[in-house]
Structures are given as C-alpha cells and as structure tokens.
Structure 1
Amino acid sequence: MTTWHLFKGQGDPSTVDFPAPPPWRRFAMRDAPLHNMVEIEGHYDSPYWNPARTYRTPMRILDAINAALTLRRPLLLTGRPGSGKSSLIYRVAYELSLGPVLVWPVNSRTTLKDGLYDYDAIARLQERRLQHDGDASAPQSGSEPRNMPDDIGRFITLRALGTALLPSSRPRALLIDEIDKADPDLPNDLLNILEDGWFEIPELQRHESPEVQVRIADPIADRADKTAYTVITRGRVSCAEFPFIVMTSNGEREFPQAFQRRCIRVDLAPPTEDDVCRIVAAHLGESVAQDALGNIQEFVNSEDVAATDQLLNALYIVHALNGGNLSDEQRIKDLLMRPLT
C-alpha cells in the first residue's frame, strides 16, 4: 500500500488528515466560516451504514479512488448493473468520516438546478398574498399596514450537489447516480461546477438581506424527521474542500471529452470468485459462502449478465433460510437469477 492512499478499503471509521490539494484545486472560500457538517461519530451502529460495513472494495480500484480523493476530482465509475457501483461511496465515507452520503439520482429530465437548489416561488407568492390580505382586513388604528419580514429562506432548499459544496473542514461525499441516463446537456452543464466549486442563487442575490438561512439536504436529519439548515451569504455557495464525488454509469453512452478530463475514470470489472466469496461472507456469513461455493463459481463463470444482489437473494433463501435444501435450489435460482440481458 503506497503512502498516498488515504482509503484502505477495509478499515474502521477514522478521521485521517487529507493532504493539501494541488494548487489548481484550491478554492477561494478556504478561510470562510465552515458549515457544521454532521459527522458519523456516534452513528457507527446505525442501519444507515449497513451498505458501508458489508461492502467489499475491489482492491484493483484503490489507486483510482485515492487519486480522486487526493486530487479533489470526481470519480466516474462505469460498470454493469448490480456490480456495486453505488455502494462504494458509502464505504469511503464511512472509513474516512466524511459524513452521511448525499445522493443525487439522475434521469432523462434532470437539470443542473435540480442538483443545486429548489426555490418554491408559488408557495412564497401565496404567503405574501395571505399576509397582504391579513394586513388589509386588520383594524387600522391610525397606522399603516404592517410590513412582515420576507423570509425567503423558508422557500429555498439546497439539494445534494448544492449541500456538498457548502464550505466544510472535510470533503463531503456525493453520489451522482446513473449519470449516463441524463440529458446530453447535463455533463456539459456540470463543467463549471466541477472546475470552480461554487454556484450562485439569483433569488438570494436579489434579496435585501445579505445572510439568509435555508434548508439543506441531510440524510441523517431526514431519517430522524428533522430539518437541517445553513446560512447563505450574498447568495453564493463556494466550497472550502471540494467534495468527494462518485458518478456512476452503466456504460450506456459516451461523455464529452471536456467532462471526461475533469474526472478520474475507472471501469469496474465483473467480480472475481474471490470478490464474490468475500461479498457473500460479509452479508450471509462464512459458512454460507463455503456451502455456496459451487453457486458462486457458476455465477462468476456464466456468460449471462446477472447482478450480485440477485445471487445474494437466491443464496439467502436456499442456504440461510432453507438449510441448503437442494431440491428447491434450481427453481429458486431460475426465479431470482434471471439474466439482465
């Protein structure tokens, strides 16, 4: 293991010291007040981190992961469906104490603004009308109708990418899932964000108050049915540490060269027999992994495309619940392990 590897792929949560980013990846907001990031300290036993605890990192991609961490560049991870692409970032965030993973799922209608923030202009207009109607109907004792403060922050929510760019002492972890399903314009629209690490909210820049409190994305707070907030100054969000971004792709399209050169690109090869044994043991125990070795070898050597979670589903029923009763095995495999292509 080389000395520049921050992430080992098999350690317990710890707070490692990140090296300084290269000169071309340092941002102007490093001296700004830092957002109080939700740490994973005290959440080790939370079910939220189950994907991280059971994920087994392919050792052959450690260089790519650590290059992305060190150079503050996004990791573009390409692999077949069900190969564990989306789970990798949970393992990294868990081991390096990067806080809960922010998730931005992408589809063909997704725009850049969907990842940055949401502004509910209709709700704000309705509230202002209600305030105006209330003022107009209230008894007037020789005074003008009162002017209620315009709390625009109640109608703005930072989404996953916007929250990841808040200035914090450590990089946040952001998953941009299935970016190959996006509109062709989205990768190009992301270029400035990936290069500069900041964005502006025009609605706040036009507002009379220089500081506005807004809601943010926070997976831990959401699970506790709570709301997390931060304060935006002059309508601008700029990172102090560029987030650790993993973008997943099923390889269904090519990306522009300008987008590719801003990423660390790696192909996630199909898992080896050893990889699958480690995955099965992590989820179902060593005994099941040994009993199911024949199934694992058949899965690895098959020309049909199936996902690892399909194998886990079948092994759970056949070996963990059904005591390895082979009379049901083929029927269950035919049901749960149908090829994806």
Structure 2
Amino acid sequence: MENNEMLDQNIELQSEDLEVPFFSLATIVTATNNFSSDNKLGEGGFGLVYKGILTDGHEIAVKRLSRSSIQGLNEFKNEVMLIAKLQHRNLVRLLGYCIEGEEIMLIYEYMPNGSLDSFIFDETRANVLGWSMRFNIICGIARGLLYLHEDSRLRIIHRDLKTSNVLLDSKMSPKISDFGMARIFGGDQTEGNTDRVVGTYGYMAPEYAIDGLFSVKSDVYSFGILLLEILSGKKNRRSFHPSQGLNLVAHAWNLWKDGKPLELIDTCLEDSCILLEFVRCLRISFLCLQQHHEDRPNMSSVVMMLHGESSLPEPKEPTSLVGKKLSSSSKNPSLSTNEITVTLLEAR
C-alpha cells in the first residue's frame, strides 16, 4: 500500500467514532520494548501479536497489522467497531487502538495462558486441563457464542471460531477472540451469502465452505468441531485409520455407532472424566455437526443441553469436510485450488 493511500485511510479512520480509546505509537513502542522479539506472543492473518506493559503496570496484547496481511483496513475497522460494542466475560476485551504513520494496531487485555490449542494439542500441557476445567471451558465458549448470536444488541456471526481463537485468562476461563472476519446481522436477518469465503477449513460448515452461506448455524458447526477437539485432544484435520482417510469427525462417529465412545477420551482425562458428561458433550457435538443447518441446535439449546436442562435427541450422521476439494459450485473462484468434498459418515 502506498504511503499516501495509507495516510488517507488513517485520517478517514481517525475521523470516525470508534468508541474505544486511542493509544499513541510512542506508548505502544515503550510498552512492547520497541516490538521486541522477546515479547512476541504469536502470529495470525492480521500480523504479529506482542505482549506489552503500560507505565501503570497493566499488561496488554498488541495486534500489529502486517503490511503484507491478507486482512486489511476494512477488517481492522470491522473488529474495532464490532468488539467495542461487546461486553461479556467470555469475549476478549478490546482496550483501544493505534493508527499512526504506517502503524495500525489493536490493543487487547492480555491473556496470560495463551490460546486453547496450545494446551489441548500439547502432550505435556494437556495434563493441566482436567475434565472439570475442560467442561468449564466448553460451557464458557458456548455462553460467549450465545451472547454473540442472541443476547448482545447485535446479532453477530463470528465465522472463524477455532481453538486458536479461544484465549485463556489467569483462571483458565475462555474468551473468544479475533473478530476481524465477523459479520453483523440486523433486524430479522438470519443468514447471509458471501463471494469471499474466509476462515479455517477444518472448522467450516459445508454450506459456508462450498456455497458461501453463513448463519448462526455455521458458527454452531464450528463449535461442534471445537467440542470434539477438546474432548479428544486431537485435531480434526489429523488422519485416523490412514487406509480409510478418516478425520476426527468420522473417527468419533464410528466409535459412537460401534458403542465405544469412551475410546475417544483424551488419555490424560481418564482419571478425572465424568463419563456421563463426556457422553453428553459428544452427543451435543454430533448434533452441532448435522449436514443440514436447520437440523443443528441454536446456542441457547446447546447451553441448556450442556447443563442437562433439556433432553438430547439422537443425532443423525454428522457431515464432514473431507480432503481438500471445493466443489465446482463454490462462490469463490480464488479458492478453487483448495479441494473440499462433503461426506456423510456411515458407521463401519
């Protein structure tokens, strides 16, 4: 992006009421020790994330827009304007932003325990998350999604819910983060359509990955994948039974139909797991992964089911994105090199 173009857009952004405080570049440079590599927390589509300490001692996380980022000023503005309006204990809190020179940054509350994926997919750290802690994390994510879908003054579809976008605070409470791809629905709108499919394939609902259709039910599908990963400690993209090319959804469904669901339990949970809760969560995950979005529960039903406040229907075969082929009906020709097919999973 040319400097003059960047400057013009910066002025445009600064003239808007973004509803959160402005941080000067000097403040952020001091807080991060000039973006020291020692303070680097991670990296995403937006750019790098750094830990910082303000002069008053408050810890912050600084999300710095990369000049080569696939996300840009529109996503930045989307995230600022969106998350500024959201207040919930299971959503990461935006503290402010910085637009100065060529720097574009978001400033968040610091999450000392990092992202959920750094625990559940790490053999050593996974032991920290016993069953009660995992169940609390599952319920917290569900409450955060319920707020986005139904309880905030906006109806918000996250569109990129995954384990790396769930952060853990000092008490290991989950907070949903990264709203750059989120979409707001107004009034009675319940679903949308896009020519630009964004997100992470392992977590995408089939109707979204293939036809660009998204709704609260596409987030519910992503929650179902995330739930399976928390229960098993395995990634959905991992291959089970290589000769059959099964992903986690297919593997879990086969165990369920064979009457052996407990074989899915993450080995480090074997001593702490409450089996009835585990089986309930597994059944809920399958209900969230139904092929047709109208067959999936909404998040208010999911929250009630998690707490045993409603009966659970018998799930039909879940659907899974297999391989890497996007069908020819894809709305986005730029993604046509990624090949995805949708498969109903039959028991062995």
- TM-score above 0.5, yes or no: no
Q: TM-score range by the shorter chain?
A: under 0.3
What TM-score results when the alignment is normalised by the length of structure 2? 0.24
More strand by share: 2
Q: Rg: which structure is higher? A: 1
Quick one: higher RCO (CA 8 Å, sep 6+), 1 or 2?
Answer: 1
